[in-house]
């Protein structure tokens, strides 16, 4: 099937964390070995992440740099696939078939109930569709990294310290509160930095004043979600890996 290799990249989102929860429950670690186990898992995840990019590019008949450049430019995976003669529906159907095969094995080995499998499968088509049609997969990560730099500057700490705090399960708002900075003050400061950048873009003709006003009008609610979001360890590992790839 066309999407056999692509499955490794997208199935996790369709399962929505079930696999991670199962692994955590079935692989307990003693306290002395917890850190080394987490490092091993992180290395394994990074290896899989690199391989998944290669496999995705191979399916689409392009190299990794071209794929990442297309995603950064704002294209969706569905659009990239279409230019290579692969329809979105074909991808979704094959991804669902591969997902069912893996879930069947999980049910057979007693790691998942048939009811849970049916629940996941019933939602898989819409989730795969959203993922394939989502634009700017890498663009959003780059924007988030820029926001983290702004936040660290406002809080008076470096990005590495901020990431460490987020890995522990704190939100950006929690970290700000520990520094004596209210969530509203943080959002206002981030809006000011955003406006300064947008003003420059407008002055250079890269953005219209109407578009700037539109972005700023929605910024408060979006920034609120950003600073209140609890970052998971898995998400942090992926962000670090993607940053390494961008710098390589």
Domain end among 135, 164, 179: 135
Domain end among 102, 135, 168: 135
Q: What is the DSSP letter of 21?
A: H
pLDDT, position 23: 42
Q: Is residue 234 part of a domain?
A: yes
Contacts (Cβ under 8 Å, ≥6 apart) of 174: 165
CA 218 and chain centroid, separation: 21
**Residue entry with tokens 């539109």:** 214
- 84-91: long-range contacts at Cβ-Cβ below 8 A with a sequence spacing of 24 or more? 84/60, 86/2, 86/59, 86/60, 88/129, 88/132, 88/133, 90/2, 90/3, 91/2, 91/3, 91/6, 91/128, 91/132
Domain containing residue 220:
138-247
Q: Tokens for 205, please give them.
A: 């003709």
- Report helix, strand or coil for 72: helix
Please answer whether residues 203 and 217 qualify as being in contact, where contact means their C-beta atoms are separated by less than 8 angstroms: no
Q: Whole-model pTM above 0.75?
A: no
Q: Is residue 17 part of a domain?
A: yes
The per-residue pLDDT string of the chain (248 residues; one tens digit each, 9 = 90 and over) reads 555 555 555 665 565 444 443 443 344 444 445 445 545 544 544 545 556 677 677 777 888 888 888 887 778 888 888 888 988 898 788 878 888 988 999 999 999 999 999 999 999 888 888 888 877 555 555 556 678 889 999 999 998 898 888 888 889 999 999 999 999 999 999 999 989 989 998 999 988 999 899 999 999 998 998 899 886 554 555 555 444 444 44
**Residue entry with tokens 């704002």:** 74
CA 130 and chain centroid, separation: 13
How many structural domains compose the chain? 2
Is 127 found in the same domain as 12? yes
- Report helix, strand or coil for 171: strand
Q: Is residue 186 part of a domain?
A: yes
Query: Distance (Å, rounded) from C-alpha 67 to C-alpha 75?
Result: 10
Q: Is residue 229 part of a domain?
A: yes
Is 241 found in the same domain as 175? yes
Domain end among 98, 113, 135: 135
Please answer whether residues 103 and 7 qualify as being in contact, where contact means their C-beta atoms are separated by less than 8 angstroms: no
Query: Distance (Å, rounded) from C-alpha 79 to C-alpha 201?
Result: 28
Bridge partners for 230 per DSSP: 171
Find, among 192, 182, 181, the residue nearest to 219 by Cα: 192
Please answer whether residues 132 and 88 qualify as being in contact, where contact means their C-beta atoms are separated by less than 8 angstroms: yes
Q: What is the DSSP letter of 204?
A: T
């Amino acid at each position: 099937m066309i999407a056999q290799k692509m499955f490794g990249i997208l199935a996790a989102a369709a399962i929505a964390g079930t696999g991670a929860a199962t692994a955590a429950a079935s692989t307990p670690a003693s306290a002395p070995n917890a850190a080394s186990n987490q490092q091993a898992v992180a290395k394994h995840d990074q290896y899989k992440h690199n391989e998944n990019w290669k496999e995705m590019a191979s399916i689409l008949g392009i190299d990794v740099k071209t794929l990442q450049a297309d995603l950064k430019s704002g294209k969706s995976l569905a659009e990239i696939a279409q230019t290579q003669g692969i329809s979105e529906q074909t991808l979704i159907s094959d991804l669902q078939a591969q997902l069912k095969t893996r879930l069947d094995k999980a049910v057979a080995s007693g790691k998942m109930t048939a009811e849970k499998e049916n629940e996941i499968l019933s939602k898989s088509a819409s989730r795969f569709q959203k993922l394939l049609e989502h634009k700017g997969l890498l663009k959003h990560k780059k924007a988030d990294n820029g926001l983290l730099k702004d936040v660290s500057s406002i809080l008076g700490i470096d990005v590495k310290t901020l990431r460490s705090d987020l890995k522990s399960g704190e939100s950006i708002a929690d970290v700000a509160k520990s520094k004596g900075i209210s969530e509203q003050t943080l959002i206002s400061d981030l809006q000011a930095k955003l406006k300064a950048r947008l003003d420059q873009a407008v002055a250079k003709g890269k953005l219209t004043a109407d578009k700037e006003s539109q972005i700023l009008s929605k910024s408060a609610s979006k920034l609120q979600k950003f600073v209140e979001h609890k970052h998971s360890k898995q998400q942090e590992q992926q962000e670090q890996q993607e940053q390494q790839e961008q710098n390589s």
